[in-house]
Copies of this chain bind each other. A is one copy, B any other.
Amino acid sequence: MSDEAIRPLEEQICFALYSASRSVTGRYRELLAPLGVTYPQYLVLLILWETGTSTVRQLGDRLELDSGTLSPLVKRLQVLGLVTRTRSTLDERVVEISLTPAGSAMSSEAPRIAEQICASTGFGPVDLAGLQQQIATLATQVRQFA
């Protein structure tokens, strides 16, 4: 471990995460294609299905994404007719994102998609929850280093 040799790619945690993340989002790509949305767009919809309305700031806090990523992404959701963007009347700096009826209706697809993803992992629900918890802990830990 304190060995000076460079460990091969496949044995490093970073590559495992990088590779797994890409394969999972690739699986989502297939499942979401019929709905016409991408994986990050789907994450935004997941939040809105939960909260009804969110500001760009709140979306960024949950997803750990900045406005440079979210702003054009949300505009594409607007073009698709899934969300509306309105300036807050109380604080005109704030843009509130809300679901349209079409965006709301799409939530009915979510359980089926989540189920298919779980099935694709080949892990049981208990193992999956444990793994998810460990990965989340690691992410939090690394983020605190910044």
Contact = CB atoms under 8 A, between A and B. Distances in A.
Interface of A: 1, 4-28, 30, 39, 43, 46-47, 49-50, 62-64, 107, 110-111, 114, 117-118, 120-123, 125, 128-129, 131-132, 134-139, 141-143, 145-146
B21 A143 contact: no
B138 A122 contact: yes
B15 A43 contact: yes
Nearest to A136: B16
Main secondary structure of the interface of A (DSSP, over half): helix
A17 B17 contact: yes
Contacts of A16: 132, 135-136, 139
Give 10 nearest A-B pairs by CB, closest first: A20-B139, A122-B141, A21-B21, A16-B135, A17-B21, A13-B132, A120-B145, A16-B132, A23-B142, A23-B139
A114 B18 CA distance: 15
A142 B22 CA distance: 10
A30 B142 CA distance: 12
A21 B23 contact: no
Contacts of A134: 131
Nearest to A124: B1
B135 A120 contact: no
Given A6-B50, A21-B21, A121-B138, 18 more contacts: A6-B107, A9-B50, A10-B136, A11-B132, A12-B132, A16-B135, A16-B136, A17-B135, A18-B21, A18-B24, A18-B43, A19-B63, A19-B139, A23-B143, A24-B138, A24-B139, A27-B142, A121-B142
